[in-house]
Structure 1
Amino acid sequence: MRLGVVSDIHGNLAALEAVADALASAGVDAIVNLGDCVSGPLLPAETARWLMHVGWPTIAGNHERQLLALRDRGVGESASDRFAAARLDADAWHWIARLPPVLQLREGPLLCHGTPDSDLAPLAHAIEQARMVADTPARIATRLPDIDAPVIACGHTHLPVAMRLEDGRLVVNPGSVGLQAFRETRGTPYVVEAGSPHARYAVLTRDAHGWRADLQHVAYDFESMAHLAERHGAPDWAHALRNGLAPA
């Protein structure tokens, strides 16, 4: 069994298509999507249509929840959500509203965006000295006290990591398909930087010895997406898309 895992596409259709091609070449049996699909100053409507067409098992991230709050109650501070919400059609809204926050596959892996209990809390990472960094297996285990799954796949932090816990469970974050750096200024400030513009994903393989994870990245036409971000008034996104680094 080989399972492709993607997360945090954020409307970057060029990166998504490159990842999908790479996973097809790898011969995976299925692909799952861990949320934050369309929010961002790129191609939200086009990305939603693409994902609806392929029909991958998909869960909601915090941005899907925030989009629905923006639509239903006018509540939301995110410019990325406002950009996407203004461009989504009825079919996209219906699709987003039906996405579950957590999903356990019949093959065993549990899919969540942040932790199983929160789409905003990082599972495999922690903030140290204003940067998002990989956490320790012991601290990760405290966030999964009642989870009986051989693999827990998470996203949200945009940074890839694969960590084997002491009890044998595997925690995997594939990193972000669509945005490799950002600077968070609300609440506790921190910076996320993958260090290059490549689109990230993971391949989970189950064999006679159990599950293992391979963290992968692929090049794509990030310059076209950076130009698009600039045209849509988001120079910080353009910088991150080109460099994998957050703007100063």
Structure 2
Amino acid sequence: MKTYAIISDIHGNSLALQAVLRDIETRQVDRIINLGDHVFGALEPEATAQIIRQTPMICISGNTDREILESLNKPSEKENMERVKADLSEQTIGWLKNLAPTAVCDDLFFVCHGTPTSDDEYLLEQVKATGVFVYNDEELVAKTAHIPQRVILCAHSHVNRVVQLSNGKVILNPGSVGLPAYLGNGEHRFAMESMTPHAKYALVQVEGNEVNIQQVHCTYDWNKASQAALANGSEKWSQFLLHGRMPKDLRWE
């Protein structure tokens, strides 16, 4: 039997990452797979990057990793971006530049951040004016028909989900290590909410043809993380870290 730990969307939350890695150490994990969005956010970009770089794992690029690189030589209006860029070392920038957008692991996993062709689209979720919905089986089978691997790993929505397809494939989103909720912008205004402040990841155990998946929620000092985000000027991030959902008193505008 082989055991894989699937992590994603750390977003510079070193406290949450350390809690997850401590839990992983107790699980006899053979390999860690990291789906991207490593450092961007209201917390500790460089400290988080150093932990990731020092821990053996497969890493791919997420949309915010790409956005950091695209804004290196120009100012950005994205909240937190200028602070993040100022904190990152040359070593971390070089590491981000070398991250691939997708990967294949042990011919079992296809690894992407958003979808196989886009790091800023959702594979599982469809955003409508009336809310966020998971695509039906036929749509997901069609969207992943070209992928031969049995388990498809995706992230980006920060919501942990396991979807079994009618063709035998499985799509797994491990949730977010470091940011359990956020507000999305697009054609519609929407919220992605995991409903708890825990640091989240997934375990995949493979033995022969059997694939078993466990979603793991780790307690850490999210009050400290929330206060740090607030001290860095990010009230919304502070609230998301504390609640894992959209607080009633937080304006959508």
Do they superpose with TM above 0.5? yes
| Cα shift readout 1:169-193 (whole Å, capped 9, x = no counterpart) | 1110000000111112344311111
| Cα shift readout 1:7-56 (whole Å, capped 9, x = no counterpart) | 00000000001111111112211111000000001000100111111131
Contact 2:12 2:41 in 1 (8 A): yes
Q: Secondary structure at the match of 1:182?
A: strand
Corresponding letter in the other structure for 2:35: L
CA distance in 2, matches of 1:59, 1:184: 22
Residue correspondences, number? 247
Q: CA RMSD in A?
A: 1.5
Quote how far apart the aligned CAs of 1:88 are: 0.4
Q: Summarize the Cα distance change of 1:27–1:243 in structure 2 as closer, same or farther, 3 Å threshold.
A: same
Contact 2:129 2:188 in 1 (8 A): no
Percent of aligned positions that are identical: 29
Contact 2:158 2:176 in 1 (8 A): yes
Contact 2:9 2:37 in 1 (8 A): yes
Contact 1:200 1:217 in 2 (8 A): yes
Q: Summarize the Cα distance change of 1:139–1:45 in structure 2 as closer, same or farther, 3 Å threshold.
A: same
Contact 1:69 1:75 in 2 (8 A): no
Contact 2:75 2:82 in 1 (8 A): no
Contact 1:108 1:149 in 2 (8 A): yes
Contact 2:229 2:238 in 1 (8 A): yes
Contact 2:204 2:211 in 1 (8 A): yes
The aligned residue for residue 224 of structure 1 is: 224
Corresponding letter in the other structure for 1:239: Q
Quote how far apart the aligned CAs of 1:245 are: 1.2
Contact 1:39 1:83 in 2 (8 A): no
Q: Secondary structure at the match of 2:43?
A: coil
Q: What does residue range 14-53 of structure 1 map to in structure 2 within 5 Å? A: 14-53=15-54
Quote how far apart the aligned CAs of 1:114 are: 0.3
Contact 1:130 1:189 in 2 (8 A): no
Q: Summarize the Cα distance change of 1:131–1:44 in structure 2 as closer, same or farther, 3 Å threshold.
A: farther
Q: Summarize the Cα distance change of 1:133–1:216 in structure 2 as closer, same or farther, 3 Å threshold.
A: farther
The aligned residue for residue 171 of structure 1 is: 171
TM-score scaled by length of structure 2: 0.93
The aligned residue for residue 7 of structure 1 is: 8
The aligned residue for residue 235 of structure 1 is: 235
The aligned residue for residue 101 of structure 2 is: 101
The aligned residue for residue 91 of structure 1 is: 91
Instruction: Note the residue ranges of structure 2 that are not aligned, 5 or more in a row.
Output: none
CA distance in 1, matches of 2:213, 2:55: 23
CA distance in 2, matches of 1:16, 1:229: 16
CA distance in 2, matches of 1:20, 1:213: 18
CA distance in 2, matches of 1:130, 1:12: 31
Contact 2:154 2:172 in 1 (8 A): yes
Q: Secondary structure at the match of 1:67?
A: helix
| Runs of 4+ residues over 6 Å off in structure 1 | none
Deviation larger for 122-131 or 212-221: 122-131
Corresponding letter in the other structure for 1:59: I
Q: What does residue range 98-177 of structure 1 map to in structure 2 within 5 Å? A: 98-177=98-177
| Cα shift readout 1:139-188 (whole Å, capped 9, x = no counterpart) | 22222121110111010000000111111111100000001111123443
Quote how far apart the aligned CAs of 1:135 are: 2.9
Contact 2:13 2:178 in 1 (8 A): yes
